[in-house]
Amino acid sequence: MKHFGFVGFLATAFVLTFTVRSEAQEKPVMTAKDKTDTVKLTMTGEVDLDYVWRREEIVAFTGGVGGTSTPANAGSENSFEGFVAVRLNAELSDKVSGVIEFGTKEADAGHLSVFAGSSATGPTALNVKLREAYVMVQELFLPELQAQIGVTTWNFDLRGKGESMAFDPRHSQSFFRNVNGAPDGDVTLGARAGDYQEPEPVGVWLRYGREKLVLDLVALPAVIEGGPPHQDEALYAIDLLYKIDDRESRIGLIAASTSGRGIEIYTYGGGFDYRTAGGMDLYAELYFQNGTSGGSAVIPSLSIGGYAYQGGIEYAVPGDLKTWIGANWTYYSGDSKANGKSSFFASYENIHDLMIIEDMYLGFDWDTNYRAIKLAGGFATNAGGNGNLRLSAIVGLCQTARSVQFKAIPGPENTRKLGNEADVRADWDFTKQLTLTAGVAYLWASKVLEDSMGGPGGPSATEHTVLFTLGTDLKF
C-alpha cells in the first residue's frame, strides 16, 4: 500500500475538515451532481498522542522504539506514541451507508507506531494507511436484518465495555500465536510483548436484531492476509445475545471456527452479565476449544484443547461521586509439558486492565497460561465545571496457570510467579472533545520477569519494573 507524509496528511485533513465544516454552516455537503442519492456526508477525526516512559525491563521485551532492544542492551526509554485518523461517513438513500477512515495505526507489523523514530526493519513513524472501510446495508430483505461488508467492526463483547475476553479481531494479534507443543519457557515473555498487530479483518457480518434478541453471522476469510488462501487467517462465527431486562442484563453464546497456517481451532462458549436495580453487576464467561495443528516439517502435528473463564462483580455506590468497586477472577489455560498437545488458550482477546502485564500497546500482553485476581475501584466527579474527572486504581495478583520453565539460567527453574501489579489512572474530560489522561503502573515479585533476564545472576535482572504514561485524546 502506498504511503504519504504525515505532515501532508495532517494538512489535507485540516483543509478537508475546514471545508466540510464551513460548507455545513451554509448548506448540506454535496458530492457530484449526478450522485443525487447521497443524503449526508460527515467528516470526523481523532488525534491520540501519548508520552510513555518504560523502564528497561519492559523495553527489553517490547524491543523499544528501534525494535532491537534485548535483555542484554536495554535501557529505559521514553517515546511519543498513538495514532491520527480522519473518517468520512456517507449516508445514502435506500438505507445504505459507508465509512472510510485513513490515518496511522497504533501498532503495525510487529512495531508500535511512534511520532518519530525508526526500527531495524524500516520506519515505524506514522505511515498513513487505510484504517477502516465498510458498507452498511439496513433492512436487507427483512426489517430486522442488516449487513456490514468490508473491514468489519464485529466483536463478541458480552459486557459491552470494550474488553473482549476471546473475540475482538480488530484489537488483537494472530489467533495462533500461542499455539505451541511445549510449555512456556525462556523466550515466551519477549515473543508476546513484541508481537504488535492491528488486524484489518475483511468479510461480511450479518446481524438479525429484534427488541431483545440479536443474532450475528460472521464470515471473515481474511482476518490476516497470508498470501495463498491456505495461509490466510480466517474466522467464521455465529453468536447470540439475549437481553434479559431493561437494565441491559444479557446472556450470550458463541461458536466459532478459526483456521490458517495448517491450524484449525473450534471455540464454544458464552456467559452472562446480570445487573440489579441496586447497582450490582455480576458477570461470568466460559470458553472451550478443540482442534488440530500441523503435520508438516514447519508445524508439528498437535491436538489442541484449551479453555478460559472469568467471573466478577462490580458495584456502583450510590452518591454524587459515582464511586464503584469491583473484583475479577481471570483464567486462561496453559501447558505444563511437551506431549503432542497444545493446551494454551488461543484468542483475539482485548483485555487491558493491567498496563504492564495485560496491555498490548504499553506492556507485555500476557494473554494465555494466565490466572489473576484483580481488585479495582474508582470514582468520577465534576472538575470545577470543566468536565468529568475519573480516577481509578487496580491491583492484580497474577500467576501463570502452568509453570514457566527456564532452562537457560544457572540452576534451571520452574516458576508461576508472573508478579503483582498496581496501577493508578486519571482521565479528565477537559472539553467535550479533549480528554487528558495519566497513568502509572508498578509490577513487583515477578520471577518470570527476573528469570527472563537471566535469573538472579543477570546484570540487569530484577523482579520489578515501572511504567508511566501521559496523553491527550482529541476528537473532532
Q: Would you give per-residue pLDDT tens digits along the chain (476 residues)?
A: 334 444 444 444 444 444 444 333 444 556 666 666 677 888 999 999 999 999 999 999 988 877 788 888 888 999 899 999 999 998 887 889 999 999 988 887 777 878 876 544 444 556 788 889 999 999 888 999 999 999 999 999 999 998 999 999 999 989 999 998 889 999 999 888 878 888 889 999 999 998 899 999 999 999 987 666 667 899 999 999 999 998 889 999 999 999 988 899 999 999 999 999 999 999 999 999 999 988 666 667 899 999 999 999 999 999 888 899 999 999 999 998 878 889 999 999 999 999 999 999 999 999 999 999 999 999 998 865 567 899 999 999 999 999 999 988 888 899 999 999 999 999 999 888 999 999 999 999 999 999 999 888 777 889 999 999 999 999 98
Q: Is 403 left (phi over 0), alpha (psi -120 to 50) or beta?
A: beta
What ranges make up the beta strands (E) of 340-386? Answer: 341-342, 370-382
- What radius of gyration, in Å, describes the C-alpha atoms of the chain? 23
What ranges make up the beta strands (E) of 20-93? Answer: 38-54, 77-92
Instruction: Write down the domain spans for the chain.
Output: 1-88+100-120, 139-475
For residue 110, CA distances in Å to 4, 69, 143, 221, 234 come to: 20, 14, 42, 22, 20
Whose cell is 494479534? That residue is: 173
CB burial of residue 85 (10 Å; 0-12, 13-18, 19+) = buried
CATH no., domain 139-475:
2.40.160.100
Q: Are 205 and 154 in contact (CB under 8 A)?
A: yes
Q: Are 116 and 125 in contact (CB under 8 A)?
A: yes
Name every residue whose Cβ is closer than 8 Å to that of residue 291 and which is 6 or more positions away in sequence: 263, 264, 265, 266, 303, 304, 305
The pTM of the whole model exceeds 0.85: yes
Q: Which of 469, 452, 474 is nearest to 461 (CA)?
A: 452
Phi, psi for residue 439 in degrees, rounded to 5: -160, 150
